[in-house]
Structure 1
Amino acid sequence: QRLDNWPQHYPWVDQEGYAYFRKRLTEARRDVEHGLQITLDWYKTREQQDRMIKILQFKLDVLWTMADAMYMAYINEMSPYFNVGNRL
Structure 2
Amino acid sequence: MSIKDRGKLKWQPALMLPEYVKLLNDVNKDYYRQVKPILDEYQLEEFENKIHTAMEFSSTVKFTVWEDGFDWEYTGMIHRLDPITNLII
Instruction: Give the shorter-chain TM-score range.
Output: under 0.3
TM-score computed with the length of structure 1 as normaliser? 0.26
Larger relative helix fraction: 1
Higher relative contact order (CA 8 A, sep 6+): 2
TM-score computed with the length of structure 2 as normaliser? 0.26
